[in-house]
Structure 1
C-alpha cells in the first residue's frame, strides 16, 4: 500500500487563506457571487452542459495553470478542458486569483472549479472537495550538464558531501535534513531561477525541487540537466505531494463525474503524457492507483 503524506511543496503558501475570510482578487471576478443550482434546475453538471462552459480559477503559476498570450495553459487547464469536453461542457472560462484567494473565491461561488494544480491537504479538504489526484510531484535535482557529481538521490548527495540548494519555506529543506545532509551543506534560495543560477555559478552542486518544476526550469537554462526523479521520505513516509481539481462542498455529483473521466486519463500513460507532457509531466507523475484523496484528506 502507498504511504500517504501530509506535506506539500506549496502547502505553506495557503495557511493564511482560512484567516480573515474572502480576499479581494484581481482579474475577472464579478461583484456578485453566483449560487449553486436551485430546486428544479437539475444537477450542476446539467447546468454546465446547458450553458456550454465551466468557470475555472487559476493562480498564474507555471506549469500548473497560467495565462500566456491570452490563452489559459498548463497541466490543470489542459486536463480539465479534456475532462469537461468528455462531460459535454466544451469551454473553460478562466478567472485569475491570487493563490490565497482561490478557496475563498470558490466558497463564495465566484467560479466552479479551481484549475491550479492545488496540493491535496487535510486543512483544505475541510473547506472544499478535491478530485482524485491528477499528479504526484516526485523530487529531483538540477545539476550541471553531465551530472559531474553523479548524484541520483539525497542519499548520494549526503555520501558525496555536496552542497544542496532549496527554496526558502519549501519542504525540500526538510527532505534534505531528513536524509542526513548537514545544515552547512544546505543553502536557502528565494526562487527557482536563483537555484538554477546557483548551480551554474558553482555556489551549490544541486538544486532540489519537484521534477515537474525543474523540467520546466531547465527549458530556459542551458548547461543544466535534471536527474531522474525519486520519492523522498520523511519519518519513513513517502512524500508524493499530490494535486487535483477543487470543487465546492455539496457538489459531490460533479466531482464524481469528473473523477470518472480523470481515471480514464491517469490509467492510460500514453494519453496522459500526450496531454500534459509539454508541461514537464511524465509517466513518473501519474498517481499510484492506491493513492486516494479520502486518505490524503485525513488529518
Structure 2
C-alpha cells in the first residue's frame, strides 16, 4: 500500500483546487472548487445558513495538515472534513466545496469571504478568538514529543527539553513554539520547520533532538513513516502562564455567522456526545475516545483564557 501524502499547514498547492481536481468519496464532499461568486459574504452572515441551504453547498477552507484536513490520493480526507460533511448534511447542506490554502491565509481568507468555514482542526486560542468565532471543540489533543529511537536525551516533555538543553523542532506559526518558550526552552534551541515530514527528517539527521506537535499529528506521522527509527512519547499538557493548554480544535466562522455557528454546534454536540459515533466517523484518522472533548471544556472559556 502506498503511503498517503503527508501534507501540512505550511506546504500546499499554491492555487485553489479547481472543480474535479479532488475526486472525493461521496461521504466527504461533492466537489472542490475555486471560490464561488456570491453567497456567504461577510455582509450577509446573519442569513448565511439559509443561503447555504438555498444553494446546496458550503465553501470550506483547509490547509492540508494530516490528519485534520488533507488531500489523500485525490480525495479530501481527515477529521474536520469528515465531521463537517456529517454536520452540514444534517443542516440541509449536502456538498462541501473546498479551497486548499496556506494555514496562515485561512483566517484572512475567511474574513474576506473566500469561504464560509475553516475546516482544518484549527486550535482555539484567545488570539484567534479576537478575530473570528469558533465552534465548540471538536477534539482535544495534548502535546507530545517525537524523539529518536531509544530517546537518547531521556526527554519526556518540553520542560525536560529546556532542562537538558535539547533542540526542539516546531512548525511555523504553530502553538508549540509558545509552549516551548513557556517551558523554558531558549529561543536559540527552537528550530522552525515548514512541514511535518521536515520534523521527522530533521530528527533522524540529528539537527533536532525532539519534534513537538500534537500527539494526534505525531502518531499519524509515525504511522506514515513505518520503520523510521523514531518514537512518540506519552502525551502531556503544556502550561502557559499557569494555564493548561489542551490544544482543542474547532471549526471557524466569521464573527457575524453566529446563527450558522450555533446550528453547527447543535449537531456537533450530537456527535461528541456519542463516543461510538465519534470514533466510527474519524477513528481511521487516529482519533479515539481520548480525543473526545469533555462537555465542561467550552470555547467561551478557552477564548477568555
TM-score, scaled to structure 1:
0.76
* Residue 58 of structure 1: how far off its partner (Å): 1.5
Cα separation, partners in 2 of 1:53 and 1:172, compared to 1, 3 Å: closer
Q: Specify which of 138, 141, 144 is matched with residue 140 of structure 1.
A: 144
Aligned residues: 274
Cα separation, partners in 2 of 1:209 and 1:128, compared to 1, 3 Å: closer
2: CA distance, partners of 1:68 / 1:132 = 27
Task: Say whether residues 1:101 and 2:119 are aligned partners.
Answer: no
Counterparts of residues 1-299 of structure 1 (less than 5 Å):
26-27=16-17, 28-30=33-35, 32-35=37-40, 44-145=48-149, 147=151, 151-154=155-158, 161=164, 163-167=166-170, 169=172, 170-180=174-184, 186=189, 188-191=191-194, 192-221=196-225, 222=227, 223-298=229-304
1: CA distance, partners of 2:256 / 2:192 = 41
Cα separation, partners in 2 of 1:73 and 1:151, compared to 1, 3 Å: same
Cα separation, partners in 2 of 1:80 and 1:157, compared to 1, 3 Å: same
Deviations 1:188-238 (A, max 9, x none): 252433332343345544322211221121123323221221111122111
SS in 2 for 1:297: helix
* Residue 84 of structure 1: how far off its partner (Å): 1.4
TM-score, scaled to structure 2:
0.74
Deviations 1:103-161 (A, max 9, x none): 333334333222122222334334332111112231111133465666443455567x3
Cα separation, partners in 2 of 1:271 and 1:248, compared to 1, 3 Å: same
The answer on whether the counterparts of 2:40 and 2:48 sit within 8 Å (CA) in structure 1 is no
Q: Which runs of 5+ in 2 are unaligned?
A: 1-8, 18-32
Bigger drift between 45-54 and 109-118 goes to 45-54
Bigger drift between 146-155 and 130-139 goes to 146-155
* Residue 53 of structure 1: how far off its partner (Å): 2.4
SS in 2 for 1:62: coil
* Residue 254 of structure 1: how far off its partner (Å): 1.6
Q: Which runs of 5+ in 1 are unaligned?
A: 1-9, 14-23
* Residue 37 of structure 1: how far off its partner (Å): 11
Query: Highest relative contact order (Cα 8 Å, sep 6+), 1 or 2?
Result: 1
2: CA distance, partners of 1:285 / 1:128 = 24
SS in 2 for 1:260: helix
The answer on whether the counterparts of 2:191 and 2:208 sit within 8 Å (CA) in structure 1 is no
